Amino acid sequence: MSAKPTPLSGFPELLPAQRVVEQQVIDILRRTFELHGFAGIETRAVEPLDQLLRKGDTSKEVYVLRRLQEESAEGHAGMGLHFDLTVPFARYVLENAGKLEFPFRRYQIQKVWRGERPQEGRYREFLQADVDVIGRDTLGFHHDVEVTRVMVDALTRLDFLPRFRLQVNNRKLIQGFYLGLGVTDTDEVMRLVDKLDKLPAEKVHAMLVAEAGIDAATADRVLALATIRTDDASFVAKVQEFGVEHPMLAEGLDELSRLVTGVADLAGDRVTVTADLSIARGLDYYTGTVFETRLEGYESMGSICSGGRYDALASDGRSTYPGVGISLGVSRVVVPLLAKTGITADRSVPSAVLVALAEEESRPASERVATALRGRGIACEVAPSPQRFGKQIRYAERRGIPYVWFPRDPADDDSDHQVKDIRSGEQFAADPQAWEPPVEDLRPRITRTTTSPKETPK
């Protein structure tokens, strides 16, 4: 390979210190999901095209695969890269249903691919982290509360990121309200209400009358419902003030208040949970609970964590598999924030210690120090060449390695091992078999070079 290559638009890559941030996000997500009993799985990157294209809207986004030397008879022309983790998970559940225990809790943290036109926060390759609980034939509503709790817990632990606002709603509540108003094409009304985050209310009102064929007074009430936002179950009283009645509305109100109440103890400084009756996710196939999530100060990035309840994710003729899940766009959060906030890691290498090298012949002695440190879980590296110690210290500085270890001089019985904290300049004698750095120096730390997000992120 020669000549400098240029980045490929829509396929973000990270420098080593940036990758430390992404890796810590992944580690925290995985750890949280496992604490809640979710099993990690991975699915293959490819799925049959006919499965990927079942939702017509995404057909334009799919990357199709072929082998360079494809024989015409071979079936791989019918394969594409997955564009989410839900379609592959549904297929995995059907394929392995006889070997899985239900309810099946799984998390999945993998890359997905979409052939969209790249723009900020929209990538052609990105990392997604999904949690779902899937049942066989039935799945209690408390699992809706459960996946919300899991994601709130995870987002709370991502404490180097801005605050999150998790917005929850319930399709039964909206549809029941519309049915109670006498609306028949509830899907069309929901689709138009979904445009409220892009269009002014008057415009949506006009569309409700013109396109959904409802009268102006009904449109008023449809839009009034969508203005309700509460951080507790007080939305119930606000909805009841409309005097609209329908069994599906009552069910939706009950479910949503159970959800908001059920996560109240977890929400707080890092995450707000809001019942937001404008959230409909009109284009997706949810049947009850729906989620969206926004980063405070970065609302223009849109929802970075979405999901909901689907009553029939998959079906194999004998059984149906209802599920509830939520999906975090890891790259959609991490990649723009690395660029916009000063979030980075305080070192670009895992090493907490650089073991110095007095001369090439003493490399085995320096290696023995390194091996002893590694035996106690201390990441370290030996200097690549026996330069002046000042140069070796600068080698550590450039990488953010906090400590330089100077091995004892074997020719001098009075010498001992010395460790220098190159941040403070402090230097002290140390035993390779016993010394340990403070716990917070063991791994790279996430730092922010600026303290607050920029005013107008683009």
The residue among 34 and 436 lying less far from a copy of itself, judged by its C-beta, is 34
Q: Angle, nearest 10°, between helix axes 201-211 and 186-193?
A: 160
The CA–CA distances, whole Å, from 234 to 190, 193, 407 equal 23, 22, 67
The residue among 164 and 310 lying less far from a copy of itself, judged by its C-beta, is 310
Phi-psi region of 169 (alpha: psi -120 to 50; beta: other; left: phi over 0): beta
Locus of tokens 């729906």: 290
The residue among 116 and 211 lying less far from a copy of itself, judged by its C-beta, is 116
The residue among 94 and 339 lying less far from a copy of itself, judged by its C-beta, is 94
CB atoms < 10 A from the CB of 232, how many? 14
The residue among 140 and 247 lying less far from a copy of itself, judged by its C-beta, is 140
Q: Angle, nearest 10°, between helix axes 142-157 and 16-35?
A: 150
User: CB of 249: closest distance to a copy of itself in angstroms?
Assistant: 23
CA-CA distance, 168 to 59, in Å (whole number)?
28
Range list of H helices, 158-215: 171-180, 186-193, 201-211
The residue among 64 and 196 lying less far from a copy of itself, judged by its C-beta, is 64
User: CB of 350: closest distance to a copy of itself in angstroms?
Assistant: 4
Q: Is the dihedral of CA 289, 295, 297, 303 positive or negative?
A: negative
The residue among 3 and 439 lying less far from a copy of itself, judged by its C-beta, is 3
* Cis, peptide link before residue 5, omega less than 30° from 0: no
Structure tokens at 250: 């009552």
Name the amino acid, one letter, at 32: T
User: CB of 432: closest distance to a copy of itself in angstroms?
Assistant: 15
User: CB of 8: closest distance to a copy of itself in angstroms?
Assistant: 7
302 near 120, Cβ under 8 Å?
Answer: no
Name the amino acid, one letter, at 448: R
The residue among 229 and 399 lying less far from a copy of itself, judged by its C-beta, is 399
User: CB of 221: closest distance to a copy of itself in angstroms?
Assistant: 35
User: CB of 252: closest distance to a copy of itself in angstroms?
Assistant: 20
- In 3D, which of 233, 223, 226, 324 has the Cα closest to residue 274? 233
Structure tokens at 150: 């899991």
Q: What are phi and psi of 344, to 5 degrees?
A: -160, -175
Classify residue 383 by its DSSP letter. Answer: -
The residue among 192 and 378 lying less far from a copy of itself, judged by its C-beta, is 378
Count of positions (residues) in the chain: 458
User: CB of 125: closest distance to a copy of itself in angstroms?
Assistant: 5
User: CB of 374: closest distance to a copy of itself in angstroms?
Assistant: 4
Classify residue 296 by its DSSP letter. Answer: T
User: CB of 414: closest distance to a copy of itself in angstroms?
Assistant: 28
CB atoms < 10 A from the CB of 217, how many? 9
